């Protein structure tokens, strides 16, 4: 990724990089190499989506996290809730460590999905059908999962932002 102020600068930079890679016996990947205006087009790079001066985890990154967590959050697993939380916390911490520079809203969406999966487990154990939602949010509020030690991406984001402000 090379950032430039104008399209002309970007074209010149691309030609320079093409010459440099050719000299080294390398070629640029035609489908992955392009000039994009981050204000209008946006682009994806290293798991992020960049557009209009902001960045967030791209859809593929969020789906991959969910795919990694789903087997650990099955309603019929028979594993204790604490054990499930202990298994998913390292994955959530790692995901946060990489995407912590995104806005808090992106963290709360993942948190909500994880808590709904956990509520689904509790709902199944209580003999109820379906997924955890509605009144289940009152039966098992977010604080319930916090007490069980669930890592909260949103809470970690708030603490990280506070510590950054304190450092300045």
Overall average pLDDT of the 70-90 stretch:
93
DSSP 8-state secondary structure symbol assigned to residue 132: S
Tell me the CA distances in angstroms from 18 to 44, 45, 134, 138, one per residue in order: 21, 19, 56, 59
Range with top average pLDDT, 43-52, 53-62, 71-80, 147-156: 147-156
Domain extents in the chain: 57-167
Q: For residue 150, give the nearest of 69, 90, 102 by alpha carbon.
A: 90
Residue 45 has phi, psi (to 5 degrees) of -155, 125
Question: What b/e readout covers 115-131, taking b as 16+ CB neighbours within 10 angstroms?
Answer: bbbbbbbbbbeeeeeee
**Tens digit of each residue's pLDDT (9 = 90 or more) over 23-66:** 999 988 888 888 888 777 888 888 888 888 788 899 999 999 99
Residue 43 parent element (H or E)? strand 43-45
- Distance between CA atoms of 128 and 81, rounded to whole angstroms? 17
Q: Answer yes or no: are the C-beta atoms of 117 and 68 closer than 8 Å.
A: no
Tokens read off for 129: 């059908």
Q: Taking a C-beta distance cutoff of 8 angstroms, is the pair 132, 140 a contact?
A: yes
The span from the CA of 136 to the CA of 139, in Å, is 5
Which pLDDT score, from 0 to 100, does residue 152 have? Answer: 95
């Amino acid at each position: 990724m090379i950032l430039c102020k104008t399209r002309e600068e970007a074209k010149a930079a691309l030609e320079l990089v093409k010459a440099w890679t050719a000299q080294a016996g390398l070629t640029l990947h035609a489908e992955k190499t392009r000039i994009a205006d981050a204000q209008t087009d946006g682009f994806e790079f290293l798991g992020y989506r960049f557009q209009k001066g902001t960045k967030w985890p791209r859809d593929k990154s969020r789906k991959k996290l969910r795919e990694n967590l789903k087997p650990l959050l099955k309603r019929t697993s028979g594993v204790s809730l604490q054990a499930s939380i202990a298994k998913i916390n390292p994955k959530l911490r790692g995901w946060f460590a990489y995407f912590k520079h995104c806005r808090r809203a992106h963290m709360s969406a993942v948190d909500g999905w994880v808590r709904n999966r956990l509520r689904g487990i509790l709902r199944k154990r209580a003999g109820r059908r379906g997924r955890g939602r509605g009144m289940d949010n009152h039966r098992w509020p977010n604080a319930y999962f916090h007490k069980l030690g669930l890592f909260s991406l949103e809470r970690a984001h708030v603490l990280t932002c506070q510590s950054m402000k304190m450092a300045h």
